[in-house]
Amino acid sequence: MPDKDAGTPRVFLYRHGQTEWSQNGRYTGKTELELTKNGENQVSASGKIIVGSGKLIDPANLAHVYTSPRRRAVQTFEIAFSEADRQALHDAKKVSLTERLAEWDYGQYEGLVTKEIRALRKDHGLDAERPWDIWRDGCEGGESSQQVSDRIDDLIQEIRAIHKGNMRGENPCDIVLVAHGHLLRAFTKRWLGYPLEFPLSLMLEPGAVGVLSYQHHNIDEPAMLVGYGFPVQE
């Protein structure tokens, strides 16, 4: 972060590592899956580089870690953070499981890939004029984009309450969100004030970390950090 923005609180978006279904492109909402071995390695690699004392995600600078209750997200938190850091965060009551970070409820589309979903919707007489877009159309028997947006907005309001009054580093206020691909991309759109159907193409690989913050130490200027300078290692 540039010197002029030093101390501004950040929100780290930590996507869980690979699962069998994410590897195959299958939509995974409520289904409980373990990380693959490769998924564990993805999280371990990113965790070693960016999580720890003096690193990008420094537990000493965290106000809270919010985690999706799905097992793949919890497992990611357990791998990325050392046992000692996890214990210290738990002891300080800085870790929460929250359904607000659960992956999109895909309803009838759970376990399907995109082409199968579009074929199913065609059988149901939908999308005659344009192809299905989850950001606009939601999921049959699952969540609409408005429902996802509402629960994300509730969490953003909670995070902004933590950040307000600490925009110049007055207190440790970084936040970590450990969750899922669609959910974290939806969170980014809402953080920036866009509706979910806004055509902002975002990518977040399994085990990867994104960063959100604010411009000009101003809570009314939420921003996305598209490039980040890592802390200097002594």
129 is catalytic: no
Is 154 known to sit in a ligand binding site?
no
Is 133 known to sit in a ligand binding site?
no
103 is catalytic: yes
Burial degree of 127 (CB within 10 A; 0-12, 13-18, 19+): middle
Residues contacting residue 93 through CB under 8 Å, at least 6 positions apart: none
Is 54 known to sit in a ligand binding site?
no
Beta-strand runs (E) in the chain:
11-15, 62-67, 95-97, 174-179, 209-214, 222-224
Helix, strand, or coil here: 206? coil
Burial degree of 40 (CB within 10 A; 0-12, 13-18, 19+): middle
**Set 40, 78, 90, 103: catalytic member:** 103
Is 19 known to sit in a ligand binding site?
no
Helix, strand, or coil here: 232? coil
Is 72 known to sit in a ligand binding site?
yes
Is 106 known to sit in a ligand binding site?
yes
**Set 16, 64, 163, 182: catalytic member:** 16
Closest to 62 (Cα-Cα) out of 46, 40, 77: 77
To 10 degrees, what angle do helices 71-80 and 37-50 make?
40
Is 28 known to sit in a ligand binding site?
yes
Give the annotated binding-site residues for substrate: 28-29, 72, 103-106
Catalytic positions, please? 16, 103
Give the annotated binding-site residues: 28-29, 72, 103-106
